[in-house]
Structure 1
Amino acid sequence: MSATDQREATLRNTMETATEMADIEAPTTQANPQLGSHTSSIFKKANRPVTLKFENVVYKVKPARKQGFSLLKPKKQKSDESEKIILKGVTGIVFPGEVLAMLGPSGSGKTTLLTALGGRLGGHLGGTITYNAKPFSNAMKRNTGFVTQDDILYPHLTVTETLVFTALLRLPRTLTKQEKINQAEAVITQLGLTKCKNSIIGGVHLRGISGGERKRVSIGQEMLINPSLLFLDEPTSGLDSTTAQRIVSTLWELSKGGRTIVMTIHQPSSRLFYLFHKVLLLCEGNPLYFGKGSDAMSYFSSVGFSPSVAMNPSDFLLDLANGITGDDSQADPATVKESLVCAFKTNLLESLKRELHELNDDDVASSGVDHKQFKRWAIPWWEQFSVLLKRGLKQRKYESFSGLKVGQVLAVALLTGALWWKSTDLQDQVGLLFFSSSFWGFFPLFQAIFTFPAEKMMLHKERSSGMYKLSSFFMARTVGDLPMELVLPTVFIIITYWMAGLKSTALNFFSALSVILLCVLVCQGLGLAIGAFVMDQKSATTLGSVIMLSFLLAGGFYVRHVPNFISWIKYISIGQYTYKLLLESQYKVGETYPCSSGSGVCLVEDHPAIKKAGLGQHVILSVVALLVMLVGYRLLAYVALMRVGRTK
């Protein structure tokens, strides 16, 4: 038998085996208890079938500039070299009830294309992408599910809490709260999550549910809205073959309800490969194949590429995408790729474009999403705020009320009280007030700096899905942090104030407490603004340290004669105003203290550490300055956050 005959026999055996496996492995809800019954709420028909068409999709990005310093003058880049082409004219069509799998090696453009089709990719995107012959819109966004490769979930919430909060935010206002909860419970049952429904999600340093269960929770979040169009980025990544089979079987069953499903997948097993209705093979942004999964092997055989041994079709396709033919010839990978690109354009592209153009757009558009049916937001602003606040409190109560944070404040309070125990020396008391203003400037600032960088991925995911307004998230996040932000400094002042022997009247005590709480809120706002602008924890921490040290040095305690060219810092220094108001809470003009002068007593306002602050002067101005900062820093944080939360 010749080598050609052997390859043909191998291909024939591979196809026969694959056909048998497709017949055996095609899932049914009765056969798979994980999927429940055909009457399941998440397996019912989609609201509106969506036909996805994309033609000649091109995406370009500007390459990142090289870091570093060079004395040599950099060469000017040519105009055609200023951008890197990620997608190079990709065309395809996916009908309701079909599953499209996009295959290709790492860096081939799979995720970029998926993001573009999901309406989440900006920049230099060319070509035409339509959904029932219409461009992407807010109505289509509300009818689309998008599951990212990384499961972005809150680690301290349980499976039930995660899905219930998502249901309360995403399901329309026409449903009651109980109906939304029932829908979440139905999703839990049908995705086989009943056993872990009360388990926390977990994270890197927190044990929770398994990887497969996390992926099903992510899919469940999108299935709550009964989407007509579902995108998934590597849904089987990091999962064992059995769990991967369950995930894809679930998606296959969902497609039977008239949904259009598009996913990227790296290296599926042969039994998964034949569950895909259509396959798109990419290589360096170029399409090498688009068509039925069952026809892929015969197509590549027809253009001269057949496996030398029986093998997994997806393995063979990935080899080809890497320029590896699998036979004994030492063909150049670049030549193989070029040959496959040319073969696609010659044999498949024209018929594919003809199919796109022959499809009657009027018929497709008539079955499209009813834009009048969808409002811009599923629920009103106040409900968004309420749900987000409850979710945030549940998630962060473990970190806000952590023993480490509470213990840290208690330890500093007790140490401070012990060092200044019943102090009667004016200089020591002034030092205590300055230390208090400094400590409660740094502590809340560095707590707040990490707020938005840690929430960046979750915010981007949920805002891209149109779950809520940025303002409702911002208000819920900042209000939710207030209890611990105000409780800890209150405890600190209660301990330190009385141990240090400051003035024991209620007016003096509550004046000092009010000043510290105002300082905490202002510094928290500054921390939020720094974190929102920088969005990198290390860089934000460095910037925050520099700013607070500048305020500290210009506060009037360490340096009394600040040069004019840098004295302006005191006018924006939080510590300067806090320190002055703390002095006002304890001392009044005309009070005296024991000193070494001839009379043995001196005026408090003449003390060197107090005179610079100007006792009894500009008190209202200091309060107004802190209130302006309180509002201003939060506005800056919100404006900076708009950049992160912005979607198409």
Structure 2
Amino acid sequence: MTTDHSLKLPTRNVLTGAIVNWDDDEMGVLGDNPENLTLAWKDLSVYRKKKTQTSIWRSPVYEEVKVLHGVSGIVSSGNLVALMGSSGAGKTTLLAAISRREKSAMTGYLMLNGRLTGADFIARISGFVPQQDLAIEDLTVAEHMEFMARLMMDKRSTKIIRSRRIQQLLGELGVTSCNTTKLKALSGGERKRVALAVQLLNDPPILFCDEPTTGLDSWAAAAVVGRLRKLAAGGKVVVCSVHQPASGVFELFHKVVLLANGRTAFHGTIEEADHFFASLGYKCPVGFNPAEYYVSLLGIQLDKELESRERIRRICDEYQRSEIAAEIESKVGDVKDEVEYFNGTSNAKNEIFDRYLTLVKVNFFVQFYWLMWRNIQQMKHNSTIWIAEFLLFMFVGLIISIPYMGHFEELDQRDIQNVEGLLYLTITETIFLFIYAVFITFPSEVPILLRETASGLYTPGPYYLSKMIFWIPRAVIEPTLYASLIFGVAGLHGGFMGWLGFCFVCILCANYANAYGKYLNL
């Protein structure tokens, strides 16, 4: 089995339309996108390794399983397309495959306007809204959008351009009133629309959404899908994986791709789906949700597994023989054998390509600056917690030092042992408190770190450096006050130099604990 094709970019124009210049004061409105853009996939198969543990004494055996079976399809500008199917049907896998975010082995072809394209190019011209939005929830919507815009948009874009783009998106998506609201206080629908706004910052012509209605009530789901339909009407290609939308939400989609057991069961409009299933004797009952009916037809009932599998096989086979499938195959067309790489020459160059392929990412230092900025904003919103932790630290120091008051006026062997005990308690409490502080806060950010670095928002280096430097003032000031409290209350000897050495050791331990705690959490 061969792996997926190497990255190949088209030599002729695949994107045409209005130009949005990074130097302009205005950016395009939602829908200011190329027309006649088609994204097609042909004979697409995905393979995953299934782990089988035959014995606890033997190494696991990995078996290659085919999860998508040579599916083909096509979507074009102006269409909102739903990928549907029961659990395990392959809709999320197909979405990941055509968005080139699938890391498993693949065979087949992915094309833009009939020419092969690669993962890097698709990533540059598309946005991907994940099912679960991961973000620092203590930030407000305005702060979150400012942070994302500064790292996602071209570094040549000015502050005015970024600000206008953010306000434009929030207004178009109906969340302007949430500007000063923390992300954790948003409703599910508002959170989805903010995540959508982030992916639209660079105004990509293609948008992928992984189950955008999951966890939302009918009204919120309709609002989100309605916004997606508006984006599609403006000229974008919008592809969503959805599980089982309400009937009102289902009708908002222009086309639907139904999957079952990794095969295409149908690909076309909702009206065509009704006629197709009716011709097979599966007419949707009056008043019944068509989406729910189709998904139930393509699902496996545990008490009727053989019957269900036979029904699914028949539907998929009938679709492959249908005129609808033949028309889809005709639109997808034959893949050309001779495909040259996009090389930026005058005969291949396109101004729309320039917008995405020449987008300049911010450098290491800008990434570090804005990660520090996000840390500071997060601290401001959690100032009460920081004050409480500081007071707790001082209280622990007081508890440790009070029993030793007056015991060090005349040192003897017993008092020396007491000093050793006090020093041990001081250092261990410093280390444990700073390690626990990292353990409480840092693990919750690891999924965000992995998501944002995988999407190319920033690299791990500036993130880790920003966290280390951000904690240094706290790991200097708090141990100094903590050590001073213990030094004074317990009555330790040594004068200024003794106090300075005591503080210095506590500061070193605090910073060591901070760094070690972050290392353990990575």
TM over 0.5: yes
For 1:502 and 1:218, locate their aligned partners in 2 and report how far apart those are by CA, in whole Å. 56
CA contact (8 A) 2:442 2:521 kept: yes
Shift of residue 194, structure 1, vs aligned partner: 2.2
Counterpart of 2:294? 317
Unaligned runs of 5+ in 2: 1-25, 343-347, 409-414
Shift of 1:288: 0.6
Mapped pair 1:61 → 2:19:
no
Partner in structure 2 of residue 337 of structure 1: 312
1:463 shift after superposition: 2.4
| Residue of structure 2 in register with 1:571 after alignment | none
Contact 1:41-1:187 within 8 A present in 2 as well:
no
Q: Which of these residues, 381, 390, 412, is aligned with residue 364 of structure 2?
A: 381
SS in 2 for 1:60: strand
Equivalent position amino acid for 2:146 in 1:
V
Aligned residue number for residue 345 of structure 2: none
Amino acid of the structure 1 residue aligned with 2:74: I
The CA distance in 1 between the partners of 2:356 and 2:450, in whole Å, is 25
| 8 Å contact kept, 2:51–2:60 | no
Contact 1:96 1:255 in 2 (8 A): yes
Task: Name the aligned partner's letter for residue 257 of structure 1.
Answer: G
Residues 461-486 of structure 1 show CA distances to partners (whole Å, capped at 9, x for unaligned) of: 32233222222222222222223233
The equivalent position to 2:332 in structure 1, one of 350, 353, 356, is: 356
Match of 1:212 in 2: 189
> Quick check: 1:49–1:368 contact (8 Å CA) kept in 2?
no
Determine the structure 2 residue equivalent to 1:153. 135
1:71-470 residue pairs with structure 2 within 5 A?
82-132=63-113, 133-202=115-184, 208-322=185-299, 332-347=307-322, 348-357=324-333, 370=353, 374-375=357-358, 377-399=360-382, 401-424=385-408, 425-450=415-440, 452-470=442-460
User: Kindly tell me: are residues 471 and 499 of structure 1, through their superposed partners in 2, closer, same or farther at Cα, counting changes over 3 Å?
Assistant: same
In the superposition, relative to structure 1, how do residues 371 and 189 fare at CA in structure 2: closer, same or farther (>3 Å)?
closer
Q: Structure 1: which amino acid aligns with 2:280?
A: V
Q: Which amino acid aligns with 1:52?
A: L
Task: Give the direction of change, closer, same or farther, for the CA distance of 1:452–1:134 in structure 2 (3 Å limit).
Answer: farther
Q: Secondary structure at the match of 1:61?
A: strand
Find the aligned partners of 2:259 and 2:79 in 1 and give their Cα distance.
19
Rounded to whole Å, the distance in 1 between the matches of 2:36 and 2:438 is 45
Q: For residues 323 and 371 of structure 1, what CA distance do their matches in structure 2 show?
A: 48
Q: Is the 8 A contact 1:48 1:369 kept in 2?
A: no
8 Å Cα contact 1:40-1:190 kept in structure 2: no
Deviates more, 1:228-237 or 1:394-403: 394-403
* Distance across 2 between alignment mates of 1:221 and 1:287: 31
Deviation at 1:415, TM superposition (A): 0.5
Q: Note closer, same or farther for the CA distance 1:420–1:41 as it changes in structure 2 (3 Å cut).
A: farther
Task: Give the Cα–Cα distance (whole angstroms) in 2 for the partners of residues 201 and 158 of structure 1.
Answer: 6
Whether the 8 Å contact between 1:139 and 1:371 is mirrored in structure 2 is no
What is the CA–CA distance in structure 1 between the aligned matches of 2:371 and 2:286, rounded to whole Å? 56
1: CA distance, partners of 2:490 / 2:312: 78
Report the CA distance shift for 1:410/1:47 in structure 2 as closer, same or farther (over 3 A).
farther
Q: Tell me how far apart the structure 1 counterparts of residues 119 and 406 of structure 2 sit (CA, whole Å).
A: 67
Change (3 A) 1:142 1:489: farther
Letter in 1 for 2:448: M
Deviation at 1:158, TM superposition (A): 1.1
Report the Cα offset of residue 330 of structure 1: 12
The answer to whether the Cα contact below 8 Å between 2:42 and 2:110 also exists between their aligned partners in 1 is yes
Q: Note closer, same or farther for the CA distance 1:270–1:186 as it changes in structure 2 (3 Å cut).
A: same
Contact 1:57–1:89 (CA under 8 A) maintained in structure 2 = yes
What residue is the counterpart of 1:4 in the other structure? none
Identity of aligned residues (%): 27
For the 8 Å contact 1:48–1:228, the answer to whether it is kept is no
TM-score when scaled to structure 1?
0.68
The alpha-carbon distance between structure 1 residues 109 and 137, as it changes in their structure 2 partners (threshold 3 A), is: closer
CA distance in 2 between counterparts of 1:222 and 1:330 reads 41
Hey, what does 1:604 align to over in structure 2? none
Question: What residue identity is the alignment partner of 2:361?
Answer: A
Match of 2:23 in 1: none
Amino acid at match of 1:469: T
Count residues in correspondence.
479
What letter corresponds to residue 428 of structure 2 in structure 1?
S
Q: 1:413 to 1:452 in 2, by over 3 A?
A: closer
The answer to whether the 8 Å contact 1:140/1:369 transfers is no
Say if 1:142 and 1:466, in contact at 8 Å, map to a contact too.
no
Query: Match of 1:163, SS?
Result: helix
Q: Does 1:503 align with 2:496?
A: no
CA distance in 1, matches of 2:406, 2:360: 58
CA distance in 2, matches of 1:131, 1:450: 46
- Separation in structure 2 between the aligned mates of residue 65 and residue 510 of structure 1, nearest angstrom: 60
Q: Name the CA distance, whole Å, in 2 between partners of 1:196 and 1:350.
A: 48
Rounded Cα–Cα distance in structure 1 between residues aligned with 2:503 and 2:306: 78
TM-score, with normalisation over the residues of structure 2?
0.83
Preserved contact between residue 120 and residue 464 of structure 1 (Cα < 8 Å): no
What SS is found at the alignment partner of 1:126?
strand
Asked if 1 retains the 8 angstrom alpha-carbon contact of 2:99 and 2:122, the reply is no
Distance (Å, rounded) in 1 between the aligned partners of 2:281 and 2:122:
42
- Match of 2:353, as an amino acid? D
- Structure 1 spans left out of the alignment, 5+ residues: 1-38, 203-207, 533-648
CA RMSD of aligned residues (A): 3.1
- Alpha carbons 2:82, 2:240 under 8 Å: kept: yes
The alpha carbon displacement at 1:296 in A equals 0.8
SS in 2 for 1:316: helix
